[in-house]
Structure 1
Amino acid sequence: MTSPAAAGIPGREGGRPQGRRDLLLAAALLAIPVGEALGLTIAFDSGAATDPLLGGLVSRSHAILEVAIVMATVGSLLGMRSREGGGGPFGLPAPARWSWAFFVAHLVALSLFTWMTSVVLSGGPRPAAEGLAWAAGWSLAAVATLLGWVAIWVEPARWRPLAVRGPGLFLALGAAGLAAWGSGRIAEGLWVPLSRLTLEAVHLLLRLYAPDAVCDPGLRLVGTSRFSVEIAPACSGYEGIGLVLVLTACFLWICRRELRFPRALLLIPAGVSLIWLANVGRIATLIVIGSLGHEGLALGGFHSVAGWLAFTAVGLGIVVVARSSPYFSRDADLARLPARESPTEPYLLPIMAILVVAMASRGLVAGFDVLYPLRVVAGGAMLLAYRPRDARLRPSASWQAFALGGAAFVAWMALESLGRGGPPPEALARVTPPPMSPALLAGWLAFRVLGSALVVPVAEELAFRGYLTRRLIAPDYWNIPVGTYSHSSFVISSALFGMLHDRWAAGVAAGMIYAAALYRRGELSDAVAAHATTNAMIAAAVLITGDWSLWA
């Protein structure tokens, strides 16, 4: 497949380090499976399964997930190292570019996996044959989700030569994943003899919030007079120490030629110290949340999310700092060279930023989505930082585009009236403001309207009508003019756009109307104008009628 650089468009230059921007993009891609794992952990309780076969399979998926994420991280480091050196790991050719089109396939597989997980965890015990069938289907959906993510990095055309010529790579990745899992179990075993130091640190931190904080190292109990917890080894966070140790060791080995030794060895105690401090902060924050009356959030979503986020932040932070600091890296000066624009990043990074923040906020906040403004900030920042050169996204739209946006609003409301069952209570709670001061409510509403009427339409149209409609026509989509029509890309992109929304039928209809706005003049700004018009009219309906369910 022709790379962007070979096609003569702004892209990556072969053999040159791409600097901090390339590294941060890799971190963003690695955050995809981590964020999805967080969402699944929060949404489903493996203990809810009553079927012994299916329940045992799901309960063991946590360990499999750990191994997979570490393997993916180490594989990503190998891939980045190979791109910079002009050759692939273990003598294989390096991927020419990230295959962003497979991100869509990954999301489809993830949707199927999520649905199957909900089915597997519901209902009572099943007959043996039915249980085996569901277990096989669930496992295949999990594998398809993982392979879809792998294809984002390495396109399937390269998998066969990779399997034939590079068995050592799979052995190395498997060893890294198993080592991370094993070290995590060993580190958990250190909790009992070393728990006093952690509990005393948590107690000291808690006293800044509550002078009546209590701590009993013998019982491994810490908290306040209103909320306290007994820390079991599995919940201690020491597992993260083992994971960070293995990840740092793999990074030191993969990048041994670029790093300055022996000073690079300081990254090992630095990583252990940082993950330990992050764990102290996690436990203290959990207790504060519980003391404020949110016990369910503290022991549920936050408990799971904070540990994963701490490991991700520390692990990737070590890589970013080490490769960008001249103290640790010989190539830090080259890494500061400005990277040239990738043709795909401007189309997908804004919507990815919005989705990642949305997933994180769902795990951190139960009920009303008070963190919605962060989506607007994240998406807006990406839109300002990355601007596509070939999309002709300029402030010029025809009146017909606004009319099509109005038609999409009418279709949306008509389909809404046909399904008056209403959104789930949890979804409605996230958009219904609780009692708060008028200033806070006005600020949240301002961000909500700004996001839905401006930032979200631009981000979604860049991804679906600017990128996906052309990518479904040809891999070298940058050579295809914006607004080029094909039956398959029109139908598939509109269907996938609908899947992004809870009201999938209305989403598909709206996606087709926005595509029609694009095809009429070949101007992406027309699709953005139509989309923004629809969302602005929905926002107006919410504010006028007080029907918050329209935003759910």
Structure 2
Amino acid sequence: MSTSAEPRPQTFDALPTVTRSFMPYIAPMFAYVALGSLESYLPSPGWYPAAYAAKAAIVAAIMWYYRSTWNDLRPAPGVLDVLLAVATGLVVIALWIGLDGRYPDLPFMGGARKAFDPDVLGPAGKAAFIAVRLLGLVLLVPVFEELFWRSFLIRWLIDQDFWKVPIGRVTWISALVCSAFFALAHPEWLPALLTGLLWAGLLAYTKSVSACVISHVVANLALGIYVIATKAWKFW
């Protein structure tokens, strides 16, 4: 019998530093996209509210596990930066709604977003679904998307040792490429492209990922209010 110790299974702490650094940025985003891609396989549209609630819960749990990444959100932006972030968020939602129907759908991206009408759930079910949907739209998505797009990817495009790149450093190439990928991640590709460029500019000016999160929150909250008020469910 050999007396040599058997190799220990690789744990998270044993992973290379670069892998450990990447995971908090990509794990919530990957989980949200991967779980979202499974929604097309639901037996019927009626399963969507439960599927979305499960997705939101899983992503929230991953975000809580990797909450130390939220150091990227410090320090808090100043008053003028917050005002600029709010204004940018309102411009974003104006583009999102104003450009609707003015650009072609791209079939290779899945075409237009498929709408789910919560009126089929009845009053109580509709209220519960809208509450959960707003929670994901306003509190979860802005945080993990900005950590991925404007904290991780835009710096990684400058230097793969991205943690060495100061937050807020943006080049034309990193802004354009990051915004292009952001556009490809949304059926509303044209407003998404313009939004990516606006938030890259906001990041470069404020040097604050938190300012981008605030702007994203404002845009998503405004979109949610618009969707509920007009029943334009196709936007979410």
Fold shared by both chains (TM-score > 0.5): yes
Out of 151, 156, 164, the residue aligned to residue 466 of structure 1 is 151
Runs of 4+ in 1 over 3 A off after TM superposition: 15-18, 95-98, 392-397, 423-429
Contact 1:357–1:374 (8 Å) recurs in 2: no
Deviation at 1:385, TM superposition (A): 0.9
Cα 1:452–1:16 shift into 2, 3 Å: same
Q: 1:476 aligns with which of 161, 166, 170?
A: 161
What 5-or-longer segments of structure 1 have no aligned partner? 1-14, 23-82, 85-94, 99-341
Task: Give the number of aligned pairs.
Answer: 221
Structure possessing the higher relative contact order (Cα contacts under 8 Å, 6 or more residues apart):
2
**Cα separation, partners in 2 of 1:96 and 1:549, compared to 1, 3 Å:** closer
Question: Equivalent residues in 2 for 1:1-400 (5 A)?
Answer: 18-19=10-11, 21=12, 97-98=18-19, 342-368=20-46, 369-370=48-49, 371-386=51-66, 387-388=68-69, 391-393=72-74, 396=77, 398-400=82-84
2:200 paired with 1:515: yes
Equivalents in 2 of 1:383, 1:522: separation in Å?
Answer: 23
Is 1:447 aligned with 2:132? yes
Amino acid at match of 2:82: S
8 Å CA contact 2:170, 2:200 repeated in 1: no
The question of whether the paired residues in 2 share the 8 Å contact of 1:401 and 1:517 is answered with yes
- The alpha-carbon deviation at position 487 of structure 1 amounts to 0.9
In 1, Cα distance between the equivalents of 2:111 and 2:45?
A: 10
Superposed CA deviations along residues 480-520 of structure 1, whole A, max 9, x for unmatched, are 11111111000000010010000111110111111122111
Q: Cα offset for 1:365? A: 4.0
Q: Which residue of 2 aligns with 1:499?
A: 184
The answer on whether the counterparts of 2:179 and 2:194 sit within 8 Å (CA) in structure 1 is yes
Shift of 1:417: 4.5
Q: Deviations over 1:141-185 (max 9, x none)?
A: xxxxxxxxxxxxxxxxxxxxxxxxxxxxxxxxxxxxxxxxxxxxx
| CA positional deviation for 1:427 | 4.2
Q: Secondary structure at the match of 2:99?
A: helix
Opposite residue 94 of structure 2, the aligned amino acid is V
Root-mean-square deviation over aligned CA pairs: 2.7
Identity fraction in percent: 28
**Could you say what secondary structure the match of 2:186 adopts?**
coil
Q: For residue 364 of structure 1, report the CA deviation from its aligned partner.
A: 2.8
Distance (Å, rounded) in 1 between the aligned partners of 2:86 and 2:112: 33
2:88 is aligned to 404
Partner of 2:3: none
CA distance in 2, matches of 1:516, 1:16: 47
1-structure distance, mates of 2:92, 2:212: 11
Match of 1:204 in 2: none
Q: Distance in 2 between matches of 1:477 and 1:365?
A: 42
Hey, what's the Cα distance between the residues in 1 that align with 2:142 and 2:44?
26
Structure 1 or 2, whichever has the larger Rg, is: 1
Give the Cα separation in 2 of the matches to 1:426 and 1:420.
9
Q: TM-score, length-normalised on structure 2? A: 0.83
